[in-house]
Amino acid sequence: MEKHNALKRRRTEELSEALLVNCPQKRGQHEEQARAYAKIIDAVSRKKRELSMSQRS
């Protein structure tokens, strides 16, 4: 859970940074990084659910 929270924090930081940056190229880089974090968070969450389901069976 700690890793999940850290990833969410990093994603939020990237989105915040994207809002503050004036350069469109830099903004795009921060937004892309935030999307990458979102994909990782989704994969970690999915894996956690799968593990939880397999332990119940």
Long-range contacts formed by 35-42: CB under 8 A, 24+ apart? 37/7, 37/8, 37/10, 37/11, 38/11, 40/7, 41/4, 41/7, 41/8, 41/11
* 5-57: pLDDT as tens digits: 999 999 999 999 999 999 999 999 999 999 999 999 999 999 988 988 888 76
Instruction: State the burial class of residue 33 (Cβ atoms within 10 Å of its Cβ: 0-12, 13-18, 19+).
Output: middle
Whether pTM > 0.75 for this model: the answer is yes
Q: What is the pLDDT of residue 4?
A: 85
